[in-house]
Amino acid sequence: MTIQTAAEPNPLLEVWTGTFEIPPFDKITPELFGPAFEVAFAEHRAEIEKIAEDPCPPTFEKVIAALERSGKALDRVGSVFFNLAGAHTSDEIERIERDITPRLSRHRSEMHANEALFRKIEALYAARETLGLDAEEMRVLERYHITFTRNGAGLSPEAKARLAEIGERLAALGTKFGQNVLADEKAYVLVLETPEDLAGLPDSLVAAAARTAADRGLPGKHAITLARSSVEPFLQFSARRDLREKAFRAWAARGESGGATDNSAIAAEMVRLRAERAKLLGYDTFAEFRLADTMAKTPEAALGLLRSVWEPAKEQAARDAEALQALIAAEGGNFTLAPWDWRYYAEKLRKAEHDLDEAETKPYLALDKMIEAVFYTASRLFGLTFEERFDLPLYHPDARAFTVTAADGREIALFIGDYFARPSKHSGAWMSTFRDQQKLDGEVLPIVVNVLNFAKAADGAACLLSFDDAHTLFHEFGHALHGMLSDVTYPKLSGTSVARDFVEFPSQLYEHWLEQPEILRRFALHHETGEAMPESLIERLRAARRFNQGFATVEFAASALVDLALHMDPDPGGIDILPFEQRELARLGMPETIVMRHRTPHFQHIFSGDGYSAGYYSYLWSEILDADGFEAFEETGDVFDPALAKRLHDFVYSAGYSRAPDEAYAGFRGRAPTSEALLRKRGFAPA
């Protein structure tokens, strides 16, 4: 139990006794985090020192299990703080974040640099075959050895000190990068002043824009923000080309203001520091270092995958661009297709080719029914049930909580859904946890959260999703299931703590069930009449699955290729981010009508922290697995096949990192994956 040393009681450090031991959000205020972190840091340092200085011969229990039990207070305080920093931040939380992230990096560096501790881990690792360990104990020992060596254990004191400096600086820069992007997003609003400004917008987007304007203190007007759920539909439907251009340019230029929120210098410094870090650890480039502990293993393997789709995608995008230009000409437009035109004319082309437009589908895709759909799918696959809770204090009124129960009646998790965009929330969509599953000293149930950024409808109106939005909902819930179904003993192996290019497999696989006729017939109900989506519309939706895949693949792959290029440079000392981006895109032959999905100055996946640096390719790598994996269900003739669902549960969703990813996939699928299904899914090979 944590012993408080702060002068005043601090709920962050108390034993949480509420349902699921949920954090006492109603008692947590920003000023409590500083003292709580101080206590948590001190407690963890003392625990590490005790393990390292124990004079007895090292054993698995005294070293590895003890490390797994250490740092509980720091884990609890950090999980609450960083979840709030992402989903419901404030000026005070951002100030604390700028202070805490480098200190947390320094703290971890001190642990990894502890020579006495590493000698114990190394001795256990060398003798691992003689220790009588079970499979999970062996795995967690291996992961600790890998973690310590990849963080500089065993290097000279000078190298360790420099690695610590680099880690601390990178943490500070990553925090600043993300806060700059959020500041740019919060600062921009496109106010639609007149009825003419609303031309082409569907009723649902008009209502959402009215709500956004009201929330921004502009009652009676309409507003578009740089949240993806606001700006993308506007680009898709607005008949006002001048306003589309304004919105698109602002969206593409986040982090590139030239002022206090400009991220160019930050990104350049991060690339240089990562390269230096890699060399200290014995690698030629940061990309080599990063990918050595992934499924891909090497940058060349990741590049090979990206190149396999790059040229086919460009060719398809070029054909699509010609068709869009023809639409412009047919309407009498005397201009060349530009990036702010693509989504608008692609929507028209989809209507023409598939008799399908988003305004027709959105009334059938109400958020509440889609939430029911993700729950129903989990019930059919894994026997789960979800009961909403209204008695728990949460961190924002929009957040919702659900008790998750297994088929045998056991409560296995608490799920929190936080679905709507707001100024205090970072853009994007993600899964996180307030607590990870483990059972080292008794069963600890996970508290899992999905954070999304859908545009909130007017009071009393249904929040209507695009089909892409619904895919995002299913995607993030796939991540959530990976955390909720986790069934391992050790925290280090829990849930989504897997290789970066495997972590997207469970989430991307889960998206496939959205498109199944059974799901659409049951849950795609008109938000006003309750009528089911017509069969003809379901057929058209499914037929259009490969529509615009050239565009989608090019904008994604361009970001992934630039990410790898940045981190494959062995000597990026004089790198200038924007010219580098321009040169790399020119070398790749990037179409002028398409812009990277994430331009470098706002590429938060790779610069707001270290999660996807040199690893954005992971989404496509995992898509090999998800496309091949879902074909396994289709081959059975039952997309809910119980036997296959059980293997998916046992080898993937519940297994955490208890086995290597290739072994996990083969255990589920019965063989290694092949890439043919990916090419078929993207429409670059015959179905």
Q: Which ranges constitute the DSSP H helices of 60-114?
A: 60, 66-69, 72-87, 91-112
Poorest-pLDDT segment among 7-21, 81-95, 260-274: 7-21
Asked, for residue 387, whether it belongs to a domain, the answer is: yes
Instruction: Please check whether residue 517 is in contact with residue 538, taking contact to mean a CB–CB distance below 8 angstroms.
Output: yes
114 & 83 share domain: yes
The pLDDT value recorded for residue 359 is 86
Q: What is the pLDDT of residue 459?
A: 85
In a domain, 650, yes or no: no
Cα→Cα distances 302→295, 299, 443, 614, 620, Å: 10, 5, 38, 10, 9
- Mind listing the pLDDT tens digit for each residue in 234-243? 999 999 999 9
Q: Is 476 part of any domain?
A: yes
Q: Are residues 405 and 297 in the same domain?
A: no
Of 543, 563, 589, at which residue does a domain stop? 543
Residue 476 among the catalytic residues: yes
Report the distance separating Cα 198 and Cα 257, nearest Å. 28
Residues 6+ apart with CB under 8 A from 414: 19, 20, 22, 389, 401, 402, 403, 404, 445, 446, 447, 448
Q: Specify whether the backbone of 188 is left (phi greater than 0), alpha (psi in -120 to 50) or beta.
A: beta
- DSSP 3-state assignment of 542? helix
Integer Cα distance of 149 and 155 in angstroms: 9
Instruction: Compute the mean pLDDT over every residue in the chain, rounded to the nearest whole number.
Output: 95
Same domain, 336 and 379: no
As a dihedral over the C-alpha atoms of residue 317, residue 320, residue 326, residue 330, rounded to 10 degrees, the angle is -130
Single out the residue of 317, 323, 313, 350 nearest to residue 543, CA to CA.
Answer: 350
Of 17, 640, 565, the residue nearest 286 (C-alpha): 565
Q: Are 51 and 43 in contact (CB under 8 A)?
A: no
C-alpha distance from residue 488 to each of 141, 160, 440, 441, 461 (Å): 14, 32, 9, 12, 42
C-alpha 189/C-alpha 191 separation (Å) is: 6
Query: Are 133 and 151 in the same domain?
Result: yes
Q: What is the pLDDT of residue 369?
A: 98
DSSP states of 208-228: HHHHHHHHTT-TTSEEE-SSH
Between the alpha carbon of residue 518 and those of residues 13, 96, 353, 525, 539, the distances in Å are 47, 48, 25, 12, 12
Is 7 within the bounds of a domain? no
Burial class of 322 by CB neighbour count within 10 A (0 to 12, 13 to 18, 19+): exposed
Which residue type is seen at 438? Answer: Q
Q: How confident is the model at residue 357 (pLDDT cuts 50, 70, 90)?
A: confident
Our CA angle for 164, 165, 171, nearest 5°, is 90
Report how far residue 387's alpha carbon sits from residue 403's, in angstroms, rounded to the nearest whole number.
5
- The tens digit of pLDDT for each residue in 187-229 reads 999 999 999 999 999 998 999 999 999 999 999 999 999 999 8
H helix or E strand, kind and range, residue 310: helix 299-330
159 within 8 A of 281, measured Cβ to Cβ: no
The C-alpha torsion from 24 through 30 and 34 to 40, rounded to 10°, is: 20
Distances in Å between the Cα of 332 and the Cα atoms of 31, 62, 165, 352 are: 60, 77, 60, 17
Taking only the tens place, the pLDDT of each residue in 476-535 is: 999 999 999 999 999 999 999 999 999 999 999 999 999 999 999 999 999 999 999 999
Same domain membership, residue 403 and residue 309:
no
How far is the C-alpha of 581 from the C-alpha of 22, rounded, in Å?
Answer: 44
The residue segments making up the domain with residue 600 are: 264-356+548-616
Question: pLDDT value at position 687?
Answer: 66
> What CATH number is attached to the domain comprising 579?
1.10.1370.10
Cβ atoms 387, 405 nearer than 8 A: yes
* Residue 414 included in any domain: yes
Whether residue 552 is contained in a domain is answered as yes
CA–CA dist 616, 600 (Å, integer): 12
Measured distance CA(67)–CA(44) in Å, rounded? 10
- Written as one letter, the residue type at 634 is E
Q: Which residue is associated with the tokens 């924007």?
A: 578
Residues 530 and 413 in one domain: yes
What are 327-339's pLDDT values in tens digits? 999 999 999 999 9
Q: Which of 104, 119, 123 is nearest to 38 (CA)?
A: 104
SS3 107: helix
- For residue 629, being part of any structural domain is answered with no
Residue 611 — φ and ψ, nearest 5°? Answer: -55, -50
**CA angle, residues 435, 101, 602, in degrees to nearest 5:** 100
Place of tokens 């696989």: 509
On whether both 341 and 197 belong to a single domain, the answer is no
Is 217 among the domain residues? Answer: yes
CB atoms within 10 A of CB 329: 11
Give, for 173, the enclosing helix (H) or strand (E). Answer: helix 157-187
Quick one: 28 and 162 in the same domain? yes
Total domains, the chain: 4
pLDDT band of 6, cuts 50, 70, 90: very low
User: Are 527 and 578 in the same domain?
Assistant: no
Decide if pLDDT at 2 tops 90.
Answer: no
Rounded to an integer, what distance in angstroms lies between the CA atom of residue 483 and that of residue 653?
8
Please state whether beta strands 447-454 and 411-420 pair in parallel, antiparallel, or not at all (unpaired).
parallel
Token pair of 483 as six digits? 């955390």
Give how far Cα 270 sits from Cα of 98, 557, 566, Å. Answer: 16, 22, 10
The number of helices, as runs of H, and strands, as runs of E, in the chain is: 28, 7
> Is the confidence at residue 7, as pLDDT, over 90?
no
- For 211-214, the CB contacts below 8 A with 24+ separation are 211/455, 211/456, 211/457, 211/458, 211/459, 212/455, 212/456
Pairing of the two strands 430-435 and 190-192: unpaired
- The Cα 606–Cα 200 span in angstroms is 36
Q: Point out the catalytic residue in the list 185, 476, 515, 623.
A: 476
Residues 195 and 172 in one domain: no
Q: Give the sign of the dihedral formed by CA 71, CA 73, CA 76, CA 77.
A: negative
Q: Which residue's entry shows tokens 């990068």?
A: 177
> Which one, of 60, 56, 48, lies nearest residue 141 by Cα?
60
Q: Which residue has the tokens 């490390």?
A: 67
Give residue 4's pLDDT. Answer: 47
Residue 110 identity (one-letter amino acid): E
For residue 5, pLDDT over 70 is answered with no
CATH of the domain at 525: 1.10.1370.40
| End residue of a domain, out of 556, 586, 616 | 616
Digit-coded pLDDT (tens) for 652-667 = 999 999 999 999 999 9
**Each residue's pLDDT tens digit, 543-556:** 898 899 999 999 99
d(CA 98, CA 91): 11
Q: Between β-strands 447-454 and 430-435, what pairing exists: parallel, antiparallel or unpaired?
A: antiparallel
Neighbours of 232 (CB within 10 A): 17
pLDDT tens figures, 123-147: 999 999 999 999 999 999 999 999 9
Q: Which amino acid is at 155?
A: L
Q: Is the pLDDT of residue 394 over 50?
A: yes
| Residue 25 sits in the same domain as residue 136 | yes
In angstroms, how far is CA 47 from the centroid of its own chain?
32
Question: Is 194 in the same domain as 320?
Answer: no
Cross-strand partners of 440: 442
Task: Say if residues 25 and 88 touch (Cβ distance below 8 Å).
Answer: no
* pTM, entire model: 0.94
- Residue after which a domain boundary falls, among 133, 150, 183: 183
Tell me, what's the pLDDT at 504?
Answer: 96
Question: Looking at the predicted structure, is the pLDDT value of residue 303 above 70?
Answer: yes
